């Protein structure tokens, strides 16, 4: 898999044109790419350190990754779920829990009153939360796995998120 813990493959879809970028086939658990938390199997690697990969085989792209040393810059393309999300109101979101977390930063709103919940202050690009297309900064977190968090501190909510099973609701 190489130093970054990424296994690449050529595009596998018959509809893809010749010259399609390499695709992440697998990510080594606890490897650099896994710890980064934004890469997922199925992501398309458009460029490695500024070199476009569309005319490369997956072996050539993997070789370029190995030659990168301890760090590299990847241009990555991925799909964001096309979900219909209400622009206002309360709705339920289910996210798969990964080793890299959900990609959310929580904060407590200034002047928060009882029942207002916590605020999502940041959604990490490429994270599980970002790819869901359902959350953005400023959204309020009212419950985690059907437990109301309107009186929780940020640390208490994070503790509850860390204890979630395979899917957090």
Query: What local confidence, expressed as pLDDT, does residue 86 receive?
Result: 57
Structure-block tokens of residue 124? 């990490």
Q: Is residue 17 over pLDDT 70? A: no
Query: What local confidence, expressed as pLDDT, does residue 12 receive?
Result: 60
Query: What local confidence, expressed as pLDDT, does residue 127 receive?
Result: 86
* Residue 167 β-bridge partners: 96
H or E stretch covering 59: helix 58-66
Q: Kindly report the pTM of this predicted structure.
A: 0.63
Using a pLDDT cut of 70, give the percent of the chain over it: 83
Average model confidence (pLDDT) for the chain?
Answer: 83
Under the banding of pLDDT at 50, 70 and 90, the label for residue 2 is low
Q: Is residue 14 over pLDDT 50? A: no
Could you give the CA distance from residue 131 to residue 39 in angstroms, rounded to a whole number? 11
Query: What local confidence, expressed as pLDDT, does residue 10 receive?
Result: 83
> Which residue ranges form the domains of the chain, and what is each CATH number?
6-77 (2.30.42.10), 95-168 (2.30.42.10)
Query: What local confidence, expressed as pLDDT, does residue 147 receive?
Result: 92
Per residue in 68-120, pLDDT (tens digit) is 888 889 998 887 765 555 566 787 888 888 777 888 999 986 766 666 678 99
Q: Is residue 123 over pLDDT 50? A: yes
DSSP string, 65-125: HHTTTT---EEEE---------SSS-----EE--TT---EEEEPPTT--TT--EEEEEE-T
Using a pLDDT cut of 90, give the percent of the chain over it: 21
Q: Is residue 160 over pLDDT 60? A: yes
Query: What local confidence, expressed as pLDDT, does residue 63 receive?
Result: 92
Q: Do 112 and 131 meet the contact criterion of CB atoms below 8 Å apart?
A: no
| Sign of the Cα pseudo-torsion (98, 104, 107, 112, in order) | negative
CB atoms within 10 A of CB 153: 12
């Amino acid at each position: 898999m190489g130093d970054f813990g990424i296994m690449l493959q050529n595009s596998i879809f018959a509809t893809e044109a010749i010259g399609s970028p390499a695709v992440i086939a697998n990510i080594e658990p606890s490897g650099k790419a896994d710890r980064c938390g934004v890469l997922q199997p199925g992501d398309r690697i458009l460029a490695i350190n500024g070199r476009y990969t569309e005319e490369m085989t997956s072996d050539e792209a993997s070789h370029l990754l190995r030659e990168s040393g301890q760090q590299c810059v990847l241009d990555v393309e991925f799909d964001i779920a096309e979900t219909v999300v209400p622009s206002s109101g309360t709705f339920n979101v289910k996210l798969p829990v990964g080793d890299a977390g959900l990609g959310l930063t929580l904060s407590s709103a200034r002047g928060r009153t009882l029942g207002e919940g916590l605020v999502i202050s940041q959604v990490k690009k490429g994270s599980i939360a970002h790819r869901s297309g359902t959350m953005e900064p400023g959204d309020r977190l009212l419950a985690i796995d059907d437990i109301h968090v309107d009186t929780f501190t940020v640390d208490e909510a994070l503790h509850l998120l860390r204890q979630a099973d395979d899917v957090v609701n």
